[in-house]
Amino acid sequence: MMNDTTEQVRKSRGSTPLVKLSRMLQSMSRRFPRACLIGTQDAFGVRLEDGTSLHIVCNGRWSDADLRDFLALFATWLVADPDRLREPGIPLAGVSHQVAEESS
């Protein structure tokens, strides 16, 4: 008999990016039924029913791949060490060195 986690992993590995996006959108829509996606020429984000919002602002020319890579980095960072992510003005290389020292 297979447990739910194993089944989810198998589904995830065989899914296309659009299928994964669809599942995530459905899940977030259940969690935040009145959320509204927002987009402008230099920003994108979401606004919740209570007025809370999250905006990603882009300045300059970013490739889709670079945006994706940094957003993935920030999402992972929020799981691993959210307090450090919210500290302003820390050079990325400096944080990388600190995290490497802490993990060894």
Q: State pLDDT tens for residues 38-88.
A: 999 889 999 999 999 999 999 999 999 999 999 999 999 888 888 877 777
Query: What pLDDT score was predicted for residue 7?
Result: 52
Please tell me the distance from the alpha carbon of residue 22 to that of residue 55, in angstroms, as a whole number.
21
Q: Does the residue 42 lie in any domain?
A: no
Q: Does the residue 82 lie in any domain?
A: yes
pLDDT higher than threshold 80 for residue 30: yes
Query: What pLDDT score was predicted for residue 12?
Result: 56
Please tell me the distance from the alpha carbon of residue 44 to that of residue 55, in angstroms, as a whole number.
6
Q: Are the beta carbons of 93 and 85 closer than 8 angstroms?
A: no
Quote the distance between the C-alpha of residue 31 and its chain's center. 16
Q: What does the angle CA 88 – CA 77 – CA 26 come to, to the nearest 5 degrees?
A: 120
> pTM of the full predicted structure?
0.66
Q: Does the residue 66 lie in any domain?
A: yes
Q: Does the residue 49 lie in any domain?
A: no
Q: Does the residue 10 lie in any domain?
A: no
Q: Domains in the chain: how many in total?
A: 1
Query: What pLDDT score was predicted for residue 11?
Result: 56
